[in-house]
Amino acid sequence: MARRKAAGTPSLRVLFATSEIAPWVKTGGLGDVASALPAALAAQGHDVRVLVPGYPALLAAFPDRMRIAFIGHIAGAMLPAELSSVRLDSGVTLLLLECPGYYERVGGPYQDRTGQDWPDNVLRFGLLSKAAALLASTASPLDWRPQVLHCNDWQTALAPAYLHYRLQPVATSVVTIHNLAFRGLFPHAAIASLDLPPESFVIDGIEFHGHLSFLKAGLQFGDRITTVSPTYAQDICEHVHGFGLDGLLRHRRDVLSGILNGIDPVEWNPATDMLIDRNYDLATLDAKAANKTGLRKRLGLLADDDTPILGMVSRMTHQKGCDLVIAAAEPLLEQGVQFAVLGSGESLMEEAWRKLAGRHPGAVGVQIGFDESLAHMIEAGSDIFLMPSRFEPCGLNQMYSLAYGTPPVVRATGGLADTVVDLTDATRKAGSANGFVFRDATAAALLRAVQRAIDAWRKPGLWRDIQRHGMARDFSWRHAVIPYTDLYRGLAET
């Protein structure tokens, strides 16, 4: 169980700045973290306030919100904004940054309906960053003062630069990298619109190869830097995964750490999941088979008790290693497997899966797009889960599959390496093996790992042990919140 705040220990005041928050606005893992981590902190008795843009979905969800401050023209060419507040059932306070000209539009938080970046993103998230910095400074319009400002990804990472160049901070800052690939790059000329001094555009400031980079600003000026898994914290210090920022990260390695994300034990729990056909737990694992039957019916797969189902819920991209699965699919199908695949992404990969399904009716079930209930059914109904990412900052699906007794096959990178223990003689004897791990990002290496998994699946006693080892792990935020609390308290006490 997670530790609650010790008696007599003062609660922390944390401002959590984010560009999305589930369930209202979500494009990826950041939205989940922005919902779950503050709630876990609030459950420990801490005062957590989440600053997020006033997108239409949020404004519609909270019509009775209270307006608490007028921000005004706080930076360069940015539009004025208002701040409103609403208290969630979790105990977290939402601070909505309302600026209709920037946030009330049809489309996603970062892109329009055609998938093109909003042309004014530099101003939209410059405003969000400046507002976060303002609330963490002596110039805040609120009486409440945070002890820690927690910024997330490039969209809020400019805040520490504002605290460095323009404001007097009252809080220490944490910048979390959820995915280093997204660096928030904009033309040099945009600096004039952001109310940052010309001297900030230097190599030791916000300049990045002739552009300004929001994320680099956070990495340069944040008091602490975190990533979403310990191994990813190591990976991004290497040139191959550093996206040009590895030198800076190595320079600041002493303030860099990796903290593994958690999962929601209410939403992702096979014992209570309302989206699967049959609930089960460690003591009733045999009931899992009913979900395999239901998954086959849903995707048109043939009934065959001697055939394992390989499941995958993923963006169909190069990063996720979807091409490796496609390349290994035919040899695996020849050995007698079935695929249950859900996802969308690069058009060539989507088409490749459609063709595989067309050539192998009854053996390959594919749904392009996303369906929450099908995602849960694939986790519960598959025998083996595939996640061969080339890089993976944290990853959640492998933790879902472990919780559901569906051992994953993963590549040794980022959070996958931190959560999946490869089956070896040593790990079997130690009682820690919960999946299958390979290193080389090749179809051949993936194929060998899947073959090892299938061999183990055909040994019921061994397979049940692997399933139980995974299901026994606690990946919940009750556990994951502890290192964040320790980090915040250490910063607040300095």
According to the model, what pLDDT value does residue 6 have? 52
Element (H, E) at 221: helix 214-221
According to the model, what pLDDT value does residue 325 have? 98
pTM: 0.90
Buried-exposed string 361-395: b where 16+ CB fall within 10 A, e elsewhere: eebbbbbbeeeeebbbbbbbbbbbbbbbbbbbbbb
Element (H, E) at 124: helix 121-135
Considering only 24-28, 118-122, 123-127, 486-490, which range has the smallest mean pLDDT? 24-28
Domain 282-474, classified CATH 3.10.20.340, yes or no: no
According to the model, what pLDDT value does residue 373 have? 95
Give the separation between CA 35 and CA 40, rounded to whole angstroms: 9
Asked if pLDDT for residue 301 goes beyond 70, the answer is: yes
Beta strands in 127-198 (DSSP E): 148-152, 172-177, 185-187
Give the separation between CA 186 and CA 157, rounded to whole angstroms: 14
- The DSSP output letter for 313 is E
According to the model, what pLDDT value does residue 79 have? 84
Residue 172 one-letter amino acid: T
pLDDT digits over 150-179, tens only?
Answer: 999 999 999 999 999 999 999 999 999 999
- Give CATH 3.40.50.2000 domain extents, the chain: 13-262+478-492, 282-474
Residue 75 one-letter amino acid: A
Asked if pLDDT for residue 3 goes beyond 60, the answer is: no
Asked if pLDDT for residue 290 goes beyond 70, the answer is: yes
Asked if pLDDT for residue 118 goes beyond 60, the answer is: yes
Quote the CATH superfamily of domain 13-262+478-492: Glycogen Phosphorylase B; (3.40.50.2000)
188-194: average pLDDT: 91
Cβ atoms 469, 434 nearer than 8 A:
yes
According to the model, what pLDDT value does residue 2 have? 46
Instruction: Find where tokens 């949020």 sit.
Output: 58
According to the model, what pLDDT value does residue 338 have? 98
According to the model, what pLDDT value does residue 115 have? 85
173-186: average pLDDT: 97
According to the model, what pLDDT value does residue 75 have? 58
